[in-house]
Homo-oligomer: A and B are copies of this chain.
């Protein structure tokens, strides 16, 4: 399998990564969740090269994860905002942040936290099963690979 054939893979993780798995893409999306939505702001925040930023934004727009919303004409300029498909990545982002927080050590104490508005607490996210509502831990999950 070559990297650019990942989108045809028979695995949802592989297909997700065909869109998200390139360098910087997750970082751009993280910024989107933080409310960043302009080219210059992404560039200044990430220090990413403009060429790559242009490519990644185009890819995300074409994949339907970001939507371009014009905020001025002459010259036409766009905000890049999360679509529904993009917002659906919220769970992935939260779990990724939680893992980074607890598992990646030796780093300065982070200053980024999330607050759960509905209950008012600082958010500690976990993955639960929609059927039984219980927390899902690795040892209780069995992959079923048909075909």
> Which of A54-62, A66-74, A88-96 forms contacts with chain B?
A88-96
Q: How many copies does the complex hold?
A: 2
The distance in angstroms between the C-alpha atoms of A123 and B12, with both chains bound, is 14
Contact A144/B97 with A14-B27, A15-B104, A26-B17 known, Cβ cut-off 8 Å: no
Could you say which residues of chain B place their CB within 8 Å of the CB of A140? Answer: 116-118
- The verdict on A137 contacting chain B, using a C-beta distance below 8 Å, is yes
Partner of A131, one of B16, B18, B119: B119
Could you say which residues of chain B place their CB within 8 Å of the CB of A108? Answer: 8, 10
**Looking across the interface, which residue of chain B has its beta carbon closest to that of A90?**
B138
- The verdict on A51 contacting chain B, using a C-beta distance below 8 Å, is no
Chain A: residues with Cβ within 8 Å of the partner, total of 89
Could you say which residues of chain B place their CB within 8 Å of the CB of A27? Answer: 6, 13-14, 17, 21
Contact A112/B16 with A1-B46, A88-B102 known, Cβ cut-off 8 Å: no
B99 to A95, Cβ gap below 8 A? no
Give 5 pairs: A residue, B residue, CB < 8 Å, sorted on A: A16-B97, A22-B23, A91-B99, A114-B143, A119-B129
